[in-house]
Amino acid sequence: MTGNPDLIEAIRAEMAQTGGRIPFVRFMELALYHPEHGYYTTGKTRIGRQGDFFTSVSVGPLLGKMLARQFQAWGVTEVIEVGGHRGQLRQDIGLDYRLVEVGDALPEQISGCVFSNELLDAMPVHRVVGDREVYVTSDFHEELGPLSDPRLPRLPAGYRSEFNLRAADWLTDVGRRLAESAYILTIDYGFERPEYFAPHHKDGHLQCYYRHTKSGNPYQHIGEQDITAHVEFSSLMEIPGLETVLFTTQERYLMNLAPDELLAHPNAARQLLHSTMGHAFKILVQRKNQRYAGRGTL
């Protein structure tokens, strides 16, 4: 167990008030979003060569230029990006662009598009083993206890996985605020339900990144490493009040969206399309009050 000593002390102080342990979902929330010492709240560089990981934005302005094409095709003039941190996409996309961080209030009525890039995978997740939930003790070991939320399912014996109830709650809230012509555009890595819970994923999807090194141990570099989990998209596409306009890979989406832009920027295009990003990252477009349901094309 290593990491930011002030954060470790704060986590232990909370554990002392709750019987000596907290659910993993709360540990992950504190590790990433503690108001003073969390990984995402200390203001340090997290993306790029000097950080811990790369994103599609790290490739350069190409993604932003292509997304601007999408927003223009929808007739969208207002974009709200949630979790944009330094706002790298804002100058590439243009338009009326507003940055909102996790936990900030959203407008009561949204008439444009709510956009996120690798937001949901960084939301705190519950970890379930069989019919029990993972709790973290004051010495940063895991022990199993009762499920802390009635929405958590029971897994088959021998399975361990993550459940992102926060993502479903957040999208439900966004959907409630959408005007009839508004959209939600989500870019993140993950799978649909059959693949997410396939036998070869029976140990779950949690990943940690520290200086571009990946591990499965969230209890080292606490507050100094990213903690993520792949998104299970089927649950998000089943949220009442929202319908799926499109669900596809980033590769297929960008190739259909603006092939001329890709040809004009071959080096950046290669990274967005043919590296891990092109296949692992998915595009989910949702809205409400559509004339059709299920999957479609742009």
CATH 2.60.120.330 assigned to domain 5-287? The reply is no
Q: Within 10 Å of residue 170's Cβ, how many Cβ atoms?
A: 20
Going from the C-alpha of 212 to that of each of 46, 208, 225, 226, the distances in angstroms are 10, 9, 10, 10
Among residues 175, 187, 183, the alpha carbon closest in space to that of 113 is found at 183
pLDDT tens column, 238-259 = 999 999 999 999 999 999 999 9
Query: Structural domain boundaries of the chain?
Result: 5-287
Give the mean model confidence (pLDDT) for residues 273-284: 86
Q: What percent of the chain has pLDDT over 70?
A: 90
What is the pTM for the complete model shown?
A: 0.90
pLDDT grade, residue 56 (50/70/90)?
A: low
Give the mean model confidence (pLDDT) for residues 118-144: 97
Please report how many Cα atoms fall inside a 13 Å half-sphere around the Cα of residue 290, on the Cβ side: 18
Going from the C-alpha of 153 to that of each of 25, 42, 159, 164, the distances in angstroms are 15, 34, 12, 12
What token pair was written down for 121? 């995978």
Give the mean model confidence (pLDDT) for residues 185-192: 96
Whether 148 and 173 have beta carbons less than 8 Å apart is answered as no
Separation of alpha carbons 123 and 28, rounded Å? 8
